[in-house]
Structure formats: structure tokens, C-alpha cells
Amino acid sequence: MQYQSQKIALNFYTAAVLLFLVQVLVGIIAALQFMWPDFFILNFNTIRTLHINALVVWLLLGMMGATYYVIPEESETELWSVPLAQLQFWATVLAVSLVVVGYIIMGINPQANTQIFGTLLLNEGREYIEAPRWADILIVVSVLLFLLNCFMTVLKTKKFTAVQGVLLGGLTFLALMYLPGMFYTNSMVKDQFWWWWVVHLWVEGSWELIAAALLAFMLHKLLGTEVKVLAKWMYIEVGLVLFTGILGLGHHYYWIGTPGYWLWVGGIFSSLEPIPLLLMVWDAFRTTRETRGVVSNRVGLYLTVSHAIFNFVGAGLWGVVHTLPQVNKWTHGTQVTTAHGHLAFYGAYVLLIVAMMYVTIPSLRGVKEFNQSKGYQAFWWMTISMIFIVITITGAGMVQTYLERLFGLDYVAVKAGYNLWFWIFRAIFGVGFLVGVLILVVDVLTLGKKAAA
């Protein structure tokens, strides 16, 4: 670490891994509720809301932490304002805690979720963006302060690097794409239309830009690859991400009441979406192969390459199989979607942030050598468990598609009968995943501390 202010990243990382732990704990509860709906004081909907909100928030915290590390290094100067970064961190933690308390209150007593000023007080009742309007505003303010801090840092030295440009471009796009989720419309069709702008243009647009920039950053830092080469491929990758991903949004407009031409737009553009993800895999392998000499942070490199591979498999392959309207007509809204959602988020973003942690924490704590074995253990526990969860749920999705959609059996009959074993196995593999997360949390909190002392 060259700049003291980079240390703020550690705050974000700590909060991120703790929320990751919460996410996975409630994930296991959700899985058990498929067998015993009354298993917990909170109903499934509240548990699921906590699960997916914790996911999104900890990934965002991880991205912010990573960015606070990257920007000073790229700009070769201290962060514009450390107190502002600290304020922004604690404000975010406070807002998130308040929202969680609100969800729990609403889970216990749904009547508490009343209308104020035309919006719902505790839970907006829209998947992923359940946070109420007042919290949306706090989130936007927090992100704007964060962006301000980053841009002011860049302006201090005016070293406009490619990585910095794409990273901050992606983050700005991310902030903008939160806005379409922030107004009420009385049409459920329009509601879903704008909701997908947020969800799709995040994970298949702005977040992929951030991923591509961080990938280039990590490859450069780990392998010393020339920035010029990395930057060129990064531009090509993010270009293709947006050329396919922006209009690929159409793959969510097949069946929600929107005109039929979306079947063509969505089908054509979204089936091309795996191409840039494959390029990223090739990029990671090529730079690794071309590197001479030893890489000291092997686990960091391992995670970086794994991120590239699982981004392609989870988002690219598990996405493309159900993206054509001819297939999606039958699989839409089944467990096939859940399987894809898990592997895509895991490969594209969980592994990205975990890789960033392993690449940057050693230098943040000022060590060159550290015990890498826990990192590998965490990776393998999580990855093997996730692969099995995904296989299990893909199986459940295929059974559901066949029996319910093609054969006309009742939804409940399929869920409670034919798919029961899949739910049981998901819960068991979920515990394996939890083991991996526990190892990760301990390692992230302690890594390099002993060596430094």
C-alpha cells in the first residue's frame, strides 16, 4: 500500500463479508422453508428479501471498498477526503441497519407497512428494490458522495487511466440506473418494465463494466502485464458487454404485456451476451500464460481467473440456455431462473469481490507473504457447494418445466411432491457453502495481521 487513505477499503470489506455471512444464513432458512414454511418467525417473503438485499448491498460495499483502493493507486495520490469516505461508510451502515429493522417489523406485522407521502414506509414490495423510498434517497446520496470523492481524487492529479475511466463510468451508470426504480406507476406492466431497467442494466450492464475494469486492474497488479494491452482488451470487452447487454434487456420483455417485437430484439441481442464474457476468460488465461517469473500472490490470481471462468459459466452459459423466447416460454419464472441467478451472481460478482479482497488486503495490511491456504479452502468449500446447489436447482427447474409447464400438473403438487428431494439437497449443500463463508470471514478479518505484528 502506498497511500494511507486506501485503508478505508478495509472498513468496506469488513462490513461486506459480515453481510455475506448474514445473506447465507438467511439463505439456509429460506431453503428450509421450502420444506417447512413455518420454520422461522419470519415468513419466506421476508427471509428472501433479506437474502437478496444483503447480497446486493454487500456486493456494492465490496465494489466501493475496491474502488477506494484502486482510485488512489491509479491517480497516484491520497483520496480527496478520508473523513467524507468515513462518513459515507457509516451513513451507509446506518441506513442499511434501519432498512433491515423495517423489514423485520413488516415481516412480523404486515399492517405496519403503511403508506406515507404516497409510498410504503417499510417495504416497497418490489423484488430486489424492496427498500422504501426514504432509503432509496439515502442510498443515492451515499453513492453520490462516494462518486464525488472519487472524481475529486482523479481531478487532483488528472491521471485519466483506462481502468479508472471504465470503473468510474460503470459506477456512474450504476447510480443512474437506480433511478428508474424510484417512482410509482399504476400499471403493473410499466412497473415491471422499469424494474427490469434497474435489475438487468445493473447486472448485465454497469456491474459488468466494473468487473471488466477490476479484472484488468487485478491482472496488472498480480502479473505486471502491460497496461496498454490490458486496456485495449478491456475496451473491447466492455464495448461488447453494452452492445449486447443494453438491447439484451429485451429478454425480459417477452411476456410482461409488451409488444411482440421484443421477442426478436431480446432473443438476438441477449444470445450474444456470452461473447464478451468468453473474451474475459481468454484475457485472463492469455495474460497469465504470457507472464514470466513467479507470482507471489497465487491465491489472488487463482480467484481472479476463477471469477472470469464462473462469470462466463453462470451468467453466459446458464443465461443463454433460457434466453431464446422459444425456450423461455416454458422455463420463464421456474427454478431454472433461480439456478442461473445463483451461479451468475456467484461467478460474476461474489468471486470478483473476493478476488479483489485477496489481491488488495495483503498490501493494505503491509505484508508481502501471507498464509494462502485458508483462501483456497474458502474458495473450494464455496465453489463446490455452489456447483451442487446449482445442479440441484437446475434439476428442480427441469422437473418443474416438464411437469408443470408441459404436462399441466399443479404448481403446488410439483413443489411439494416431485421436487422435495431437490429442496433437501439444496439445504445440505447450503451448509457446505456456509462453512466456506465462515472460513472466508475469518481469513479476511485476520489475513496478514500476524505477519505484520
Partner 1 sequence: MSNNAAKHLFIWGSVLCFVILIVLTVDTMGKLDQRAPEITAEVDEGKKVWHKYDCIGCHTIFGNGSYFAPDMTKVTVRKPTGYLKKFIMNPRAIKPDSAMPVLGLTDKEADNLMAFLDWTSKVDTNGWPPAPILASARMDKTAGAGQVLFYRYDCAACHEIGGMGGVAGPDLTHVGSKHPDMEWHIRHLRSPETVVPDSAMPSFDHLTDQELKEIAEYMITLK
Interacting residue ranges for ligand HEM, rule: CB under 6 A: 24, 27-28, 30-31, 48, 51-52, 55, 127, 203-204, 208, 251, 270, 273-274, 315-316, 319-320, 322-323, 328, 332-333, 337-338, 340-342, 344-346, 348, 350, 426, 430, 433-434
What is the footprint of Fe ion within residues 186-225 (CB under 5 A)? 200, 204
Q: Is 332 a binder of Fe ion (CB under 5 A)?
A: no
Q: Which does 345 bind (CB under 5 to 8 A by kind): ligand HEC, Fe ion, ligand HEM, none?
A: ligand HEM
Q: Which is nearer to ligand HEM, 325 or 375 (CB)?
A: 325
Q: Is 182 a binder of partner 1 (CB under 8 A)?
A: no
Taking the CB of residue 104, how many other CB atoms lie within 10 A of it?
15
Q: For residue 120, what is the enclosing H or E element?
A: strand 119-120
The amino acid at residue 129 is: I
C-alpha 233: how far from chain center: 23
Q: Is 119 helix (H, G, I), strand (E, B) or coil?
A: strand
Q: Please name which of 397, 383, 371 lies closest in space to residue 343, comparing C-alpha atoms.
A: 383
Residue whose grid cell is 451468467 = 315
Q: For residue 115, what is the enclosing H or E element?
A: strand 115-116
Compute the distance between CA of residue 41 and CA of residue 35 in angstroms, rounded to an integer: 15
Taking the CB of residue 413, how many other CB atoms lie within 10 A of it?
12
Q: Is 101 a binder of partner 1 (CB under 8 A)?
A: no
Q: Which does 413 bind (CB under 5 to 8 A by kind): Fe ion, partner 1, ligand HEC, none?
A: partner 1
Q: Is 426 a binder of Fe ion (CB under 5 A)?
A: no
* Shortest Cβ 75–ligand HEM spacing (Å): 28
Using only the alpha carbons of the chain, give its radius of gyration.
22
Interface with partner 1: number of residues (CB under 8 A)? 76
> CB neighbours of 101 closer than 8 A, spacing ≥ 6?
none
* Shortest Cβ 274–ligand HEC spacing (Å): 34
Q: Is 113 a binder of partner 1 (CB under 8 A)?
A: yes
Binding stretches for ligand HEC (CB under 6 A): 43-45, 412
Q: Which does 315 bind (CB under 5 to 8 A by kind): ligand HEC, partner 1, ligand HEM, none?
A: ligand HEM
Q: What x-and-dash track marks residues 201-230 binding partner 1 by CB under 8 A?
A: ---------------------------x--
Q: Is 408 a binder of partner 1 (CB under 8 A)?
A: yes
CB 309 within 8 A of CB 278: no
Q: Which is nearer to partner 1, 199 or 308 (CB)?
A: 199
C-alpha 269: how far from chain center: 22
CB 114 within 8 A of CB 108: no
Q: Which does 110 bind (CB under 5 to 8 A by kind): partner 1, ligand HEC, Fe ion, none?
A: partner 1
> CB neighbours of 448 closer than 8 A, spacing ≥ 6?
361, 362, 365, 366, 367, 370
* Shortest Cβ 103–ligand HEM spacing (Å): 15
